[in-house]
Structure 1
Amino acid sequence: MFNQSTTKNQRHSFVVGVEYGHENLFLELELGTFHTTPLHAQRIANSVNSIILLKDHMVVIFKNADSITINDDFLKQAYKFRVCIKPKLPPLELSVLTHQEREEFIRNQAYIVTEEDMKEVSWDIKTAFHYLQQEYEARDQSHFLFTPSSSYVIPLSTHVQQEVQHATY
């Protein structure tokens, strides 16, 4: 019989990734498939500190100060870009709102971005970089810092885990 602590510490295979964004451009980066515990898989997802998009590559900086460089020749399959197609609304100064107005704003669907508002694009790194330069009139900007949006830990099914295990022997 399984109890919660036994199940929590069991190792399984997980696909781990993060999503980072800059304005209306989002980057989904798959960190890999890991055979570990659920808690450690989440720690892996949370280990990314920041992502910097440069003209022809990205740098992923981890919280332990390690980094990796991704370009279109190396790890191209590990990332994809999505663009928010929802029309932008003007910024709102929250400090002038009453408590009731703030509560209404939080529930205002016009400011909430959903999956339906996102469009996947098959861009390489250079295209994404030029898009941000043009979209935000930042032609002289040498890099764009992406900020955390979300992370994911997806358990692989037992059947897939067995296939992966057999493939590695």
Structure 2
Amino acid sequence: MEITFDDITLRDYRLSDVKDEVRWTNEDTAWFYADTPWMELEPVDPDELREDMLQIISGLPDIRWRFEIETAGRHIGMVSSYYLDESFEPTPWAVIDQSKNARENHSVRGLGIEICEMDFWGRGIGGKALTAFMEYYRGLGENRFILETWSGNARMLGCAGKLGFTQVRRKKGAYTVDGKEYDGLILEKLI
């Protein structure tokens, strides 16, 4: 499946993407630490990742939970989604039936985005990718979206603000980065 929006494409994962994902996880990790600097990124084994991706590719659901982002002929990152309950707690994938009736029982769609190629940061690509992703789900009858971030993630906060997300929850001092406390934020958009 492919979705084109402006100058970006959201598309299904390809086996050729494994090389990028290995590099993003083992070498070019700035994207991860911009998003979650309090966590440690575990290196991946290329062969294990390839096997995992083959399984995912062979069993893609009708309703996608992840798309790769491509622009200017390059694979630069991904958008993904997950369900949250009314208290904004994650719903385990194992208990979710991806059918339309089951989706109606999970009222909040959490969204994630990673622009892993630093030379594409600050170009508005994240906003375009999230817009295309929300439009995909809107076409499936969903209209409520959540972003979870932290108060030190200026790029994500700027993108979310431009897209019309508003803060619905703030957890003071949720994260400590380089000895400084930051708040955990939940942002919401209804379309």
Q: What TM-score bracket applies, with the shorter chain setting the length? A: under 0.3
Q: Report which of the two structures shows the higher radius of gyration computed on alpha carbons.
A: 1
TM-score under structure 2 normalisation? 0.22
Q: Which has the higher contact order (CA 8 A, sep 6+)?
A: 1
TM-score under structure 1 normalisation? 0.24
